[in-house]
Chain A
C-alpha cells in the first residue's frame, strides 16, 4: 500500500544549528514529492517540491530537500535554523495515477534559543 512515513514526531534543535527532517515513502514508481510547513492554527504552506530532474531541490526560507530513489527518501534540510522555523512540517506524496495526496503524520520542530 502507498504510504508516507515521517519517523520523527518531535525534534528540538538550537537556533543556528542545522536541521534534517526525514521522510520515506513506499510506492513502486517515482512519486511527486512535497514538503509543507504549518504554523499553529494555520493552513499549509508549500516549502518545496520535486517532480523530476535534479534530485536536490531548493525551496523557500532557505530549505532544501534531496530525493534519493534508492532509499525512497525525501529528507528536508536547513543549514541554520531560525526561531521562526518552529512549526509542524509535513512530507506529502502524490502519484499521477491517483487523485489524492498522502501526507505523513508530521514532525513538530521546536527551536531552542
Chain B
C-alpha cells in the first residue's frame, strides 16, 4: 500500500507568480484535502476534493484553487503569490463512503513553498 506523496519537496517563487503543487493519494482513497501550515502555526484547512468536485472550503481566497483527477490525485494552484503564502502545504487523503463513522485523513510529507 502506497502512502500519500507530494511534489515537489521544496519550491521557491517570487511574488506575483503562480504555483502548482501535486499530491498522490494513498492507494484506495478517493478524497484529498489540502492544508496550509505557516511557520509556527497549526495546519489550516484550504479545501477538499471528492469525486473531482470541491467538497468544502476553508477561509482562503479564490486565488487558491484545486483539481482532482480521475485517479484521485490532486493539484493545488495558487495564483498571484503573496509573501504570506510562504508555508508548508500538506495534502491528506481519505476514503469517503467506506462505511466507517469518520473518514480518517492520512497526511503526506508536505511541500515547502517560499515566496520571495
Question: Does B bind A?
Answer: yes
**Chain A 90-113: CB-based contact to B (< 8 A → 1; otherwise 0):** 101010101111111110000000
> Chain A at the B interface: mostly helix, strand, loop or mixed?
loop
Interface size on A, residues (CB 8 A): 24
In the bound assembly, the distance between CA atoms of A4 and B44 in angstroms comes to: 12
A2 CB to closest chain B CB (Å) equals 11
Instruction: Tell which of B35, B41, B55, B108 touches A99, judged by Cβ atoms closer than 8 Å.
Output: B55
| A-B pairs with beta carbons under 8 A, tally | 58
| A103–B107 alpha-carbon span in the complex (Å) | 13
CB distance from B86 to the nearest CB of A (A): 14
B42 at the interface (CB under 8 A from A): yes
- Assess whether B101 is in contact with A43, with CB atoms less than 8 Å apart: no
Q: Which of A64-99 contact B (CB under 8 A)?
A: 90, 92, 94, 96, 98-99
Task: Provide the bound-state CA to CA distance between A101 and B90, in Å.
Answer: 12
Q: Which residues of A contact B (CB under 8 A)?
A: 4, 32, 36, 41-44, 46, 49, 51-52, 90, 92, 94, 96, 98-106
Closest 6 CB pairs of A and B: A103-B42, A99-B56, A100-B45, A43-B109, A99-B48, A44-B107
B108 CB, nearest partner CB in chain A, Å = 6
Residues on the A chain within 8 Å of B35, using CB: 101, 103
Q: Complex: how many Å from CA A72 to CA B88?
A: 29
Q: B29 on the interface (CB 8 Å rule)?
A: no
User: Does chain A have a CB within 8 A of B22?
Assistant: no
Q: Please determine whether B45 and A101 come into contact, CB atoms closer than 8 angstroms.
A: yes
Contact B108 A43 (CB under 8 A): yes
Complex Cα–Cα for A46 and B107 (A): 9
